[in-house]
Amino acid sequence: MGTERYTRSLEYLATAEKVIPLGTQTYSKSRKTFPPGLAPLYATKARGSHIWDVDGNEYVDLMSALASVNLGYADPEINAAVAAQLENGTTISLTHPIEAEVAQLIIDLVPSAEKVRFGKNGSDATTAAIRIARGFTGHDDVITCGYHGWQDWYIGVFPSRNLGVPRAYSDLIHPVPFNDLAAMEAELKARPTAAVILEPMTTDWPAEGYLEGVRELATKYGAVLVFDEMVTGFRFANGGAQEYFGVTPDLSTFGKGVANGYPLSAIVGRADLMTVLETAFFSGTFGGELLSLTAARVVLERIKSTDVIQQLAVKGEALRGRVQAEIVKAGVEDLLTLPGHPAWVFTIWNAGAPGIAEIKQLFMQEMSRNGVLMIASHNVMAAHTEADLDAVVAAYATVLPIIREAADKGDAASRLDAEVTGLGQSVR
């Protein structure tokens, strides 16, 4: 089929890169993630659970806007509410009552939430959480476990991503492995610590007693415990992973699904901690932007009154089971596994398999060709229908035998429609 399937995507890339670094505003939508010529790069619209690229190709969307759309694209109820608010302004000169209304909805749902502040993206919220913890404790060092955004306080510790970040920031960050309480306590013993911030789950389930143990250690050593629930929030349970696992942190950060793709994030927590933000500076012109808050009100009210979040897990587990059957049928268990929570299932490739980089690229090429848009996970949403899930399974059934054959023959690279260079790991 060749690269002609993506002719306009390639043209847009060439044009966009003249005016935008990487040709996009989001790393995980760039050519570092989507190999040019093997997968689409630009899209014109998304509705329900489908997306259409600039070349007119239609896909079942398993990315769900990097897991930020839990209900579905262009949800009619959200659209109507936002359209009505549009007539009355988007960002106005005084605080609108909806700020407190949406804050109360979050407090009603999230165990750790006593007060709420809003930002526009995940990095806003995690940065605010760390500022609160440092202000409250008087300490500077932070223990991290997971991915927490692009800001200097966090990303400086990663050599592949810390260009432009002063070394002083890196010296204050101490990453620890997930499910390792001994490593956590060793870092807490080593120095006074402002915060422990972690994603309560990604690919691996927390070991029995792990999150409870982290809670106890943070309390024992006087550190503020922060759950980064950018993805798990309003996806694992109505109140996020903290409700799902029954462990309440001191502060929590939310984004993505809170407004079904509208730009909104939230930092929530104990009232005494949140009150630090009356002195510590955290402020933005668009924190009270009304269209996103209007969308969030619809989302949170639906979550509160229906079982929509529980249904994500039902759909996700059904899809995982059917895809696992195709993995076994194609004999690729040695190459591909599907760990994670049912609402956020990862496609994990065996890093030690020969030619695995090219095999992953071939997988993306063939899944895209068969009408499924995905990177490295199944991010199910309410709008996914049985027909959508059937289409995804059918794509796997077509693609996995190709992967098996390419792995056996060692010729995955020769099956690619374009030369692939400069790929990086996608981020959330």
Q: What is the pLDDT of residues 210-253, one digit of tens each?
A: 999 999 999 999 999 999 999 999 999 999 999 999 999 999 99
Helix (H) or strand (E) holding 228: strand 224-228
User: Cβ distance 403 to 350 under 8 Å?
Assistant: no
What percent of the chain is helix, strand and coil (3-state, nearest 5)? 45, 15, 40
CA distances from 8 to 3, 20, 39 (A): 10, 17, 12
CA distances from 166 to 151, 154, 163 (A): 12, 11, 9
Tens place of pLDDT for every residue, the chain, 428 residues?
578 999 999 999 999 999 999 999 999 999 999 999 999 999 999 999 999 999 999 999 999 999 999 999 999 999 999 999 999 999 999 999 999 999 999 999 999 999 999 999 999 999 999 999 999 999 999 999 999 998 988 888 888 888 888 888 889 999 999 999 999 999 999 999 999 999 999 999 999 999 999 999 999 999 999 999 999 999 999 999 999 999 999 999 999 999 999 999 999 999 999 999 999 999 999 999 999 999 999 999 999 999 999 999 999 999 999 999 999 999 999 999 999 999 999 999 999 999 999 999 999 999 999 999 999 999 999 999 999 999 999 999 999 999 999 999 999 999 999 988 766 666 66
> What is the predicted pLDDT for the residue at 427?
63
Can you tell me the distance from the alpha carbon of 396 to that of 101, in angstroms, rounded to the nearest whole number? 44
> What is the predicted pLDDT for the residue at 287?
92
Closest CA to 358 of 297, 290, 421, 273: 421
What letter would DSSP give residue 23? G
Compute the Cα dihedral for 422, 49, 20, 156 and give only its sign.
negative
Q: Which residue has the tokens 């949140």?
A: 274
Can you tell me the distance from the alpha carbon of 147 to that of 126, in angstroms, rounded to the nearest whole number? 10
pTM of the model: 0.94
Name the token pair of 160.
């592949």
What b/e sequence results for 182-196 when a residue is b if at least 16 CB atoms lie within 10 Å of its CB, and e otherwise? ebbbebbeeeebbbb
- HSE-CB at 139 with a 13 A cutoff on CA atoms is 19
> What is the predicted pLDDT for the residue at 160?
83
Burial class (CB in 10 A: 0-12, 13-18, 19+), 376: middle
Can you tell me the distance from the alpha carbon of 27 to that of 82, in angstroms, rounded to the nearest whole number? 28
Q: Which residue has the tokens 């299932």?
A: 345
Can you tell me the distance from the alpha carbon of 410 to that of 355, in angstroms, rounded to the nearest whole number? 7
Q: Where do runs of H (alpha helix) occur along 156-258?
A: 167-170, 181-190, 210-220, 241-245
> What is the predicted pLDDT for the residue at 421?
74
Can you tell me the distance from the alpha carbon of 140 to that of 398, in angstroms, rounded to the nearest whole number? 52
Closest CA to 54 of 24, 10, 14: 10
Beta strands in 85-223 (DSSP E): 115-119, 141-145, 173-175, 193-198
Distant-in-sequence, close-in-space partners of 20: CB < 8 Å, separation ≥ 6: none
> What is the predicted pLDDT for the residue at 428?
64
Name the token pair of 30.
């760039």
CA angle, residues 235, 272, 150, in degrees to nearest 5: 50
Name the token pair of 150.
């692009």
What are the structural domains, with CATH classification, of the chain?
A: 3-61+308-415 (3.90.1150.10), 76-305 (3.40.640.10)
Tell me if residue 174 falls in helix, strand or coil: strand
> What is the predicted pLDDT for the residue at 159?
81
Can you tell me the distance from the alpha carbon of 69 to that of 63, in angstroms, rounded to the nearest whole number? 9
